Amino acid sequence: MIPVQGVQNQTIAVLGLGRSGRATAAALREGGATVVAWDDSAETRAQAEAEGLPLLDLTRDTGWRDRIDALITSPGIPHLYPHPHPAIAQALRRGVPVDNDIGLFFRSFGALDWAGFDTAPRVICVTGSNGKSTTTALIHHILRAAGRPTQMGGNIGTGVLSLEPPVDGEVVVLELSSYQTDLARALTPDVAVFTNLSPDHMDRHGGFGGYFAAKRRLFAEGGPDRCVIGVDEDEGRYLANQMGQGPQDDRVIRVSVEDKLDGFGWSVSARKGYLSEWRKGRQIASMDLRGIRGLPGAHNHQNACAAYAACRSIGLAPRDIEAAFHSFAGLPHRSQTVAEINGVRWVNDSKATNVDSAEKALMAFENIRWIAGGMGKEGGIAALAPLFPRIRKAYLIGHSARDFALQLSDTPHEVVETMEAAVARASAESEPGDTVLLAPASASFDQYPNFEKRGEHFTALVEALRRG
């Protein structure tokens, strides 16, 4: 646990008592604060009260009669758009500072006593629309493989205040969502990574501009020593321009999977599967990403470039990074190879819950036997039509199976309804060199509580096949 600094003898209110909220309350208490708490769920409130957290209804005027010095809210609770949560609205009217656990982490992490350390700990933060979880996990994996002390947390793994106090030379790697960067009152990463940007969470941020602004705060207000920025969209190019003093400023490392970036002070790109690092007009290193099983496809090559650049920025050698790439197994449910059986590759990309992410998965493989379906989004899979020639056959499950069948038209397909049937049919019909790809292009809620459970079911069925 990282005790929160600067809260001794203060009364701090915590809104939202899930995993991060409870960890925040514990860290505040450890720092000497008096904590009161609230959650909209009666069941969650009862659990928190049983654990000794005093409750206070922060949505009512009566809850604010006594002094409250700050309100700490969980990331999923709206603080501005589409409208502030009633408890946050109360705080805003009263001028009570509103923060989140990320803000508390940064103001407390740097306040720890590091006087005896030879090398001060550092923080690498990763944000963006797609690939930030894989990029975060990949950076963490590279650091571990290189023998560097490291922890991973934030929007993936451990909550930030549940991390252990850092040791000499440690690197903490955090995935940060737009919900987290939007509100944090302190953001001071040593290295900040921006993967890419595509429309998401529009209602929460008041539109695309607000969404980008939330991501941009990590850089513009965080003031990192190094910025690793994907520049394949206008927003990334704009951000890189804002953070640098010119094209030769190597405090900004530009990343691309579309363009050769040899005219900048520092850049990393991957074209046709080959990663290249350029610095001040010279190629420093290169490597072939195509045979790395844990990083298939151009979208994962972009993740690899971002992770490579972040690790290079803190002094790791190219050969050490490349070696770690080959031992990276990938994250569960994200283009994860779960088995190879009789020459057939089985890939779990259950996280592909929309057309954009399914497109990236389909582009990463050939000779595809595609398991798709679930609670389809507006427009179905029509936008994927240019990729249908890559599909040997589709096996359609769930609520949208018949709608998807109509859109597949002449592409071989079969409505099989369930995951069990899809895996059985794909196993019976696949041939060496095929890839059986679960990339549903749909939400899971018709048959599973979340995409993780869907992916776990697929993996279990494949494992049963492997065992025979």
Q: Where are the alpha helices (DSSP H) in 154-233?
A: 178-183, 202-205, 208-220
Question: Is 132 annotated in some ligand binding site?
Answer: yes
Question: Is 128 annotated in some ligand binding site?
Answer: yes
For residues 299 and 352, the answer to whether their CB atoms sit within 8 Å is no
Task: Find the helix or strand (DSSP H, E) in which 355 lies.
Answer: helix 355-364
Helical packing angle, 297-313 and 318-326, nearest 10°: 140
CA–CA distance, 37 with 55 (Å, rounded to integer): 5
Question: Is 129 annotated in some ligand binding site?
Answer: yes
Dig out the tokens for 83 from the structure. Answer: 């409208």
CA–CA distance, 54 with 29 (Å, rounded to integer): 12
Could you list the beta-strand ranges (E) of 67-186: 70-73, 98-99, 122-127, 150-154, 171-175
Identify the burial level of 352 via C-beta atoms within 10 angstroms of its C-beta, where 0-12 means exposed, 13-18 middle and 19 or more buried. Answer: buried
Is-cis flag, bond preceding 432, omega within 30? Answer: no
CA–CA distance, 134 with 310 (Å, rounded to integer): 13
Question: Is 236 annotated in some ligand binding site?
Answer: no
CA–CA distance, 127 with 77 (Å, rounded to integer): 19
CA–CA distance, 91 with 450 (Å, rounded to integer): 33
Beta bridge partners of 416: none
Dig out the tokens for 52 from the structure. Answer: 């000794």
For residues 295 and 289, the answer to whether their CB atoms sit within 8 Å is yes
CA–CA distance, 212 with 235 (Å, rounded to integer): 8
Dig out the tokens for 357 from the structure. Answer: 């992410």
Question: Is 134 annotated in some ligand binding site?
Answer: yes
Burial string for 167-201 (b: 16+ CB within 10 Å, else e) reads eeebbbbbbbbbbbbbbbebbbbbbbbbbbbeeeb
Strands 375-376 and 442-443 come out as antiparallel
For residues 83 and 111, the answer to whether their CB atoms sit within 8 Å is no
Give the annotated binding-site residues: 128-134
Give the annotated binding-site residues for ATP: 128-134
